């Protein structure tokens, strides 16, 4: 567990650090938000951030999101500062710890973060076979490809492998290849030097260096552009990377685990995925079955989620009624474990009697679970539905309106970086700026420029 403490904690910094270290955590300290970001950019990383409430928690969380740094934030403050505690939680903090720090509370928070990342609940024989294979290959350094539908728990399996590997004391770093715009993904993976491109205001260590000695999870790798796959292949073969704008290679020692919800052999045939990269990643394949093919796990997971959400919401634990269990087992679960988790969260909040009844677990509109399960339709029907849904969002709009939406959405994905947005859109930066000037004059909200990017004119 790597803990980053930001601020002085009202003079309680030494005490909090000692408590965390006694619980096995490695602790790094930063005076303010900017220093915290430098620590995270440098590759030291963190699993949990503990921040003094005198720091603007909202600004801290916003800057972490801006830099695609995902980690939970816990706020700390004097025990009688109720207003600051509420503001911190509203700003996005996961928890509030009163000062002076209580050893048991800090231990509980550290344990909660660890447990939240390592929960592996299963009972079905189909899942047991996957876990058994994962345990056998965990001690090796072989690359692993984890496949399965969205929501089946691929990342949970990846963390399970890491926890049982010789690298368990080193970082586990995850990056979702589908969640980061293509133009930014290279620098997120390999890092960049100051001035490598517009907006690169400082050197940034990428995920490969941040995971050095540990495990790097490339989530939904099928979404990665073919051109970037070539650079990834070299990194896997030679264990050497090149930062964007760098002049010398950097050696890394990592184990790579990749996940995909697509058939990568089919993607190879289409030409969207490199065959040599597939061979390099697919040394061991762990195929996670969908929830509908592991029925014994459904009730086990439902009970686990019911207990967890009852505790986190301060509600009494309630058992599932017999009717509710039958409903859960009969559902198709197109969203798999993720859908079941959301269903049980809602059920815990809606249950009113001594048990969780069927009304609490049904869809918000009262319909049966999985009534429109995608798994019950053929590929052609699913494609037709997707096309219809996309078309519905465009019908009734003018070409100008569709263009504006595309430009503003792309700019939002690029965190306001005009240069990257223009490259993705295939237009000149001048054309983009003219469009944004027009949108601003028309009263539309235009994302502000990426930090460090020069402004062309007021309002850009």
d(CA 299, CA 320): 9
- Reported as a single tens digit per residue, the pLDDT across 396-405 is 567 787 888 8
- One DSSP character per residue, 390-401 reads HHHTTTT--HHH
Beta-bridge mates of residue 204: 192
Query: Could you tell me the CA-to-CA distances from 99 to 6, 47, 103, 190 in Å, in that order?
Result: 14, 21, 11, 39
Q: What is the pLDDT of residue 278?
A: 94
User: How far is C-alpha 331 from the chain's CA centre?
Assistant: 27
Check pLDDT > 90 for residue 280.
Answer: yes
- What is the C-alpha to C-alpha distance for residues 169 and 89, in angstroms, rounded to an integer? 30
393-460 CATH choice from 1.20.120.50, 1.10.10.60, 3.40.630.10, 3.30.70.580: 1.10.10.60
pLDDT greater than 80 at residue 219: yes
DSSP assignment, residue 197?
Answer: S
- DSSP character at residue 204: B
Percent share of the chain, pLDDT over 70: 85
Lowest average pLDDT, out of 29-33, 239-243, 391-395, goes to: 391-395
Q: Pairing between strand 240-241 and 250-251?
A: antiparallel
> Domain 291-361, what fold?
Helicase, Ruva Protein; domain 3 (1.10.8)
Which residues make up the CATH 3.40.50.300 domain(s) of the chain? 125-287
Of residues 382 and 151, more confidently modeled: 151
CATH of domain 125-287: 3.40.50.300
The 8-class DSSP code of residue 356 comes to B
Tell me: cis bond preceding 24? Omega within 30 of 0 counts. Answer: no
DSSP secondary structure string for all residues of 70-127: ---EEEEEETT-HHHHHHHHHHT-SEEEEESPPHHHHHHHHHHHHHHHH-----SHHH
**For range 338-367, the mean pLDDT:** 84
Residue whose token pair is 């939680």: 89
Which one is predicted more confidently, 373 or 363? 363
Residue 427 per-residue DSSP state: S
The SS3 assignment for 455 reads: coil
Is 309 a residue whose pLDDT tops 50? Answer: yes
The answer to whether the beta carbons of residues 143 and 281 sit under 8 Å apart is yes
DSSP assignment, residue 383?
A: H
Question: If residue 141 lies in a helix (H) or strand (E), which one and from where to where?
Answer: none
Assign 19 a pLDDT band (cuts: 50, 70, 90): confident
Per residue in 108-123, pLDDT (tens digit) is 777 666 555 556 888 8
pLDDT higher for 248 or 454?
248
Cβ-count burial of 417 within 10 angstroms (0-12 exposed, 13-18 middle, 19+ buried)?
A: buried
pLDDT of residue 349: 87
Tokens 């000149």 correspond to what residue?
428
Reading the block at residue 364, the tokens are 């918000």
More confident residue, 314 or 305: 305
Q: How much is the mean pLDDT over the chain?
A: 82
Q: Give the tens place of pLDDT for each residue, 173-215.
A: 889 888 888 778 888 899 888 877 766 667 788 899 989 999 9
Dihedral angle sign, alpha carbons of residues 435, 436, 438, 443: positive
- Residue 392, pLDDT above cutoff 50: no
Where does CATH 3.40.50.2300 sit in the chain? Answer: 2-118
For the cut 90, the answer to whether the pLDDT of residue 168 exceeds it is: no
Tell me: pLDDT of 41 over 80.
Answer: no
What class is the 2-118 domain? alpha beta
Query: Three-state SS for 454?
Result: coil
Residues 424, 401: contact at Cβ < 8 Å?
A: no
In the chain, which residues fall in CATH 1.10.10.60?
393-460
Write out the residue limits of the CATH 1.10.8.60 domain(s) in the chain.
Answer: 291-361
Strand, helix or coil for residue 205: coil
Of 4-18, 59-73, 446-460, the one with minimum mean pLDDT is 446-460
Closest alpha carbon to 411 in 448, 370, 382, 457 = 448
Query: What does the pLDDT read at residue 260?
Result: 95
The tens digit of pLDDT for each residue in 81-101 reads 677 888 888 888 888 888 887
pTM: 0.61
Judge contact between 292 and 329, C-beta under 8 A.
no
């Amino acid at each position: 567990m790597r803990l980053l403490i930001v601020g002085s904690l009202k003079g309680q910094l030494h005490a909090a650090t000692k408590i965390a270290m006694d619980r096995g955590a490695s602790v790094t300290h930063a005076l303010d938000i900017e220093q915290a970001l430098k620590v995270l950019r440098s590759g030291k990383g963190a699993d949990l951030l503990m921040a003094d409430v005198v720091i603007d928690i909202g600004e801290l969380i916003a800057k972490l999101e801006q830099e695609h740094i995902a980690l939970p934030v816990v706020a700390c403050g004097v025990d009688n500062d109720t207003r600051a505690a509420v503001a911190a939680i509203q700003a996005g903090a996961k928890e509030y710890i009163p000062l002076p720090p209580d050893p048991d509370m800090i231990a509980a928070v550290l344990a909660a973060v660890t447990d939240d990342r390592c929960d592996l609940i299963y009972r079905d024989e189909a899942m047991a076979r996957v876990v058994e294979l994962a345990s056998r290959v965990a001690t090796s350094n072989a690359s692993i490809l984890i496949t399965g539908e969205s929501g089946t728990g691929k990342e949970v399996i990846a963390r399970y492998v890491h926890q049982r590997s010789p690298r368990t004391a080193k970082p586990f770093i995850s990056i979702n290849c589908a969640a980061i715009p293509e133009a930014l993904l290279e620098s997120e993976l390999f890092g960049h030097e100051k001035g490598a491109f517009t907006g690169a205001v400082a050197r940034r260590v990428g995920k490969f260096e941040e995971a050095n000695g540990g495990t790097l999870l490339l989530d939904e790798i099928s979404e990665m552009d073919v051109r970037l796959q070539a650079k990834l292949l070299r990194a896997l073969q030679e264990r050497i990377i090149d930062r964007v704008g760098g002049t010398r290679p950097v050696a890394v020692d990592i184990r790579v685990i990749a996940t995909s919800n697509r058939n990568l052999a089919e993607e190879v045939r289409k030409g969207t995925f490199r065959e040599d990269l597939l061979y390099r990643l697919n040394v061991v394949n762990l195929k996670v079955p969908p929830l509908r093919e592991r029925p014994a796990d459904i009730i086990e997971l439902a009970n686990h989620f019911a207990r967890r959400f009852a505790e986190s919401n301060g509600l009494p634990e309630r058992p599932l009624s017999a009717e509710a269990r039958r409903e859960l087992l009969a559902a198709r679960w197109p969203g798999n474990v993720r859908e079941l988790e959301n269903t049980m969260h809602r059920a815990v909040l809606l249950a009113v009697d001594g048990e969780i009844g069927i009304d609490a677990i049904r869809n918000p509109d009262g319909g049966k679970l999985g009534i429109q399960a995608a798994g019950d339709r053929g590929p052609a029907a699913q494609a037709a539905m997707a096309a219809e849904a996309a078309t519905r969002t465009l019908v009734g709009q003018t070409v100008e309106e569709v263009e504006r939406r595309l430009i503003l959405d792309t700019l939002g994905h690029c965190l306001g970086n005009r240069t990257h947005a223009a490259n993705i859109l295939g237009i000149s930066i001048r054309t983009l700026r003219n469009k944004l000037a027009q949108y601003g004059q028309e009263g539309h909200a235009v994302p502000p420029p990426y930090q460090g990017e020069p402004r062309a004119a007021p309002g850009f």
